[in-house]
Structure 1
Amino acid sequence: MTGRRTATRSTMPADDAKLVAATWAGSRLLLAAILAAIVVSGHGLRAALGNWDVRHFITISRHWYADPLEMAFFPGLPAVMAGGARIGLAPEITGAVLALVCSGVAAAALYRIGGTVPTCLWLIAPTAVFTTVGYTEAPFCAAAFWAWERARAGRWWQAAGLAALACTFRVSGLFLVGALAVMAVVGDGQWRDGRGRDGRTRKARAPKRGLRAGVERIAPLLLPALVLVAYVVYLHGLTGSWTAWFQAQDRGWGRGFTTPQESLANTLPATRTDTWRATYGADAGIVAMLFKLEIVSMLVGVATTVYCLVRRRWASAAWVGVQVIAFSIGHWFMSVNRAVLLWFPLFIALAELTRGPGRPVGLKLLWRGIVAVLVLADLAVMGWWGWLFFTGRWAS
């Protein structure tokens, strides 16, 4: 047992909030440097920050849901952008500032849940650019991660309030409510204590048994569920349809219901350069590459779900697994690369699986060298993904 603890200490840094803060600052500065280079080369700042879905959020912030297709997006972020406009801030800037702040808030929650390494891995994820611009990933993760942390601490009303906030940003709030319900009933198995400094795995607080205790944990989750219901009712009032959100997804992004086999079959042609040559010209190869990565992200999601099931982390398995299922039945695999940012159990699993040897010294140094190379490669991919987004190329 002593040797095992020594090995863990020697390869995993002690929980260090300063390292997390430095990683947050360093990763944001790297993306800011890429943004600055692009702006200097002739792109406007607002243009670089305002690509793809940011345009949809800006449209909603200005005209609300005048276009039925915009109903595919939840109102939380557009409402914040509209508030920024009232004080003279451009919506692209409001979105970027919100993302920067919320990425730090999300990192603080993940640090409490899983410790230093998972948090740093999340901050330098390949698609981290989406936590620095006007997308919903950062504000959603900030609310959702803290909801998870509060639920693990047994503060269910606090968790419900945070989950309700998360539900205003994206439909993933539905999956969050479901996963929290699983936690309320059966818990979330074995976790490393994110605030401990000894690296040992401790059993998370087991939920109290009994009908009354279960109801006391489940009942607060009606609050975020009501937020989702309220959005559906609101859209019904605008359109007369109870399925307005699904219709917008289908008509705007082709996300109708299919089987996983059909979704994979629909995605495979998108991984070929020739499929996109007429639309994207010289960038066709980039689009094809990103759709290949969508399949990789799906496989990562499946692997993470299985890992959590093996470790009996039932709520974590539900959180990732239900998203994987949702992406697998939506015509094709799209936006999964960004959804990986929501899968915090993945980053905890990576930290656990890559601890490496504690001795002898030679193997330990070799492992550290390998990790350093992998981190540099990851940062290069993160920078490349930022370049794609800031220059208006397809970025998933």
Structure 2
Amino acid sequence: MFQCATSKPEPFFIAQKFCNRSWERFQLYSFHIRTLLLTRDLVKQASQTTTLACFGAIMDYEQRNLTIAFPSLRQLAFDVKGDRMLKILPDLLSEKLQILDISFFSYHDRSQQVKFFPSLDQLLEFPSILGAKCPNITELVVRNMPDEFPKQARLLKGLMLATPKVKALHLLPPWSSSGLYPGVFTTSSAVHVGLEALSVVFCDNSSEAIAQLRAQPRASFPCLRSLCIRSLGRTAVVTALSACAMSPLQNLRVEIGEYSYSHRPYNRGSFDMKNDVDGSFQSRLLEVTTAICSLSSIHLDELSLEVHHPRLGATARISKLSNVVSFGDNMKPLLQHFHHISKFCLTLHFRATFAEGLLLDIRDEDFSLVPRA
């Protein structure tokens, strides 16, 4: 999908196969294109074969004639599925590009019944190409990445080193992945000294992942104003909040636990039942609110806290399960500390197994804790 920079930006699609004689007409549009979105979700809106064939023809013509297909591109969203797409990507990069949203997906060859992922050698070459062609990237989004930590670490470090001007960093692996490289906080804080917005997803709460997180040197983000962290366990949240202890945060969103476990593969070794169920719902909530209260920024404007009840297996048990979750006891220290909050959102997800046995106690005096929110 292409989007032009006009008074009324409207997306338009190429519905027919692109050919060489269409180049001059295409350039009349491409000069005004500021946003290019070529992701799996958008490709599904049209014929996938037609869309990729047409786009491939555009890029082939560009390479043969040493010209630039999208000279004014500011934002690019691109799914890398295999080496072919990875070879196309550098031709879309330019000095004017400011926002890069990229996903490294494997693809399935039905004829051979085999899944392919971009080769490691080509993946590791991409960050240097990105740094040379796009020195002005200010927002970097990585939605998928290699599962193996050594490959992932080298790729993420390379991408961060290639984009020192980034002010917004979003590392968003899906819940079905094996996790996120634990050193992202340390690496980003060292490279992105002016980082203002950070979003991360940690979907690995195994004992090994927790130990690696705790072993990382403490990071700091002196300019960070917005933090969004989603984590299966509490350790990643506490680590992230510790890194932001001295940050001038204005917007904080924390989510602990996974809303839907139906899509999670349990054969990857990244899900540890014991780590997930230790402690009660109260202790999980209390530990998070205590960590948030340790932040030095008292001018937090927006706070969103979402906590999911620990998942229970067939034989797992939680001892000392409290029947009442008190809003006042858990939220009073938090809201008194951040008394300038103008928007506060609290979401508690109780598992169906215990929904009838748990009560949320909110009293009239509790509403006085949030006079402005």
Give the structure-1-normalised TM-score.
Answer: 0.22
Higher helix share: 1
* Larger relative strand fraction: 2
The structure having more radius of gyration, on CA atoms, is 2
Q: TM-score w.r.t. structure 2 length?
A: 0.23
